[in-house]
Amino acid sequence: MEELTHLIQTNIPYAPYIIFGALMLAGLNIPISEDAMLFVSAVLASTYPDYLVQFFIAVYLGAYLSDLVCYWLGRILGAKLFEIRFFANRVSAQRIGKIHLFYEKHGLITILVGRFIPFGVRNGLFLTAGLGRMNFLKFALADLTACTITTISYFSLYYHYGNSVIDYIKTGNKIVFAVAVTLTAIIYYLFKKPRRA
């Protein structure tokens, strides 16, 4: 990541394209942090305001389209994905299984909450949506909503406050995730259909 960040910072006119390309690679499960790209984009946009729009569009489209790439990767390759050592090492079948069970119980809310979870789980979630052949339109719309909220929020915070908010955002992500999981569990148990005798 350090080399990539250095490349971006030393090539400002091309930086939005590099960021977009890096995020597309992240959709293939190459370990490139979406969160780091958001941070770098916003900080550079505050330093080079003439590139503000380009940086935002690059990180927003890159984040969203990489999710769709990840979804289609799971949908097209299916179980064959785990025969490829590169993918098997990145996201284990066991983790995919756990995410799939969570998705089966909690539906689309899983996609919305998933945007707040770091790379390994986030990509596992999108792969699982594809592997489970989740309706693409539902996935795309749910992810578009979540991606729009997170990208605008984080980009704005990083743009205005830079390094000073990183720890708060990490803590906030954990709190949002914990609250969302708790509320989902409560709603599920309150409204689940009673079993027939």
DSSP annotation of 130: H
**CA quadruple 71, 123, 19, 163: dihedral sign:** positive
Read off the tokens for 172: 């906030």
Output the pLDDT for position 6: 83
Higher pLDDT, 68 or 138: 68
CA dist 72 to 51, 78, 81, 128, 155, Å?
A: 31, 9, 11, 10, 27
Alpha carbon distance 28, 87 (integer Å): 9
Domain boundaries, the chain: 2-191
Q: Average pLDDT over the chain, rounded to whole? A: 80
Residue 21 has pLDDT above 90, yes or no: yes
* Closest to 140 measured CA to CA, from 154, 126, 150, 151: 126
Q: pLDDT tens digits for 38-57?
A: 999 999 999 999 999 999 99
Output the pLDDT for position 96: 66
Read off the tokens for 192: 């689940």
Q: pLDDT tens digits for 101-154?
A: 766 666 667 777 777 776 566 777 888 888 878 889 988 998 998 899 889 998
The pTM of this model reads 0.77
Output the pLDDT for position 197: 45
Q: Which of 10-19, 68-77, 107-116, 148-157 has the lowest mean pLDDT?
A: 107-116
